[in-house]
Amino acid sequence: MDSSRRHLVIFLGAIACAGVVIATLVFPFWNLIREDVYEDTVILSNDGGTCYAETVDGIPKTITGCDVPAGTAVTLRYGEGLAWASIVEAR
C-alpha cells in the first residue's frame, strides 16, 4: 500500500472513531429507549374511545381504543415522560 492510500485509510478511520465518540457523548442513543412504567390509576373520562387518566408524573395520559367507562380502576403502561399509555388490566 502506498503512502497516500495509507494516510487516507488512517484519516477515514480517525473520522469514523471521532464520529462514534461524539455520537455517544453528545447524543446518547439509549435515551431514545424509554423505560416502561406501570401504574395503577383511574380513568377520568372516556371520549368516544379515547380515555384520559392522571398519573404521578403529572403528565395526563391519553389511551386510544379504550372501551372502559370513566371511574374504572386500571393498570397503565407508558413510557417514562410520554403522554401515551395503554391499559394493561382493568379492574
Look at residues 55, 54, 51 and name the one whose alpha carbon lies nearest to residue 87: 51
Residue length, the chain? 91
pLDDT at position 87 over 70: yes
Q: What is the pLDDT of residue 30?
A: 67
Give 26-82 pLDDT, tens digit per residue. Answer: 777 666 778 899 999 999 999 999 999 999 999 999 999 999 999 999 999 999 989
Q: What is the pTM of this model?
A: 0.66
Q: What is the pLDDT of residue 23?
A: 76
Kind plus residue range of the DSSP H or E element containing 46 = strand 36-47
Amino acid at 22: I
Mean pLDDT calculated for residue range 9-22: 90
As a dihedral over the C-alpha atoms of residue 16, residue 20, residue 21, residue 22, rounded to 10 degrees, the angle is 100
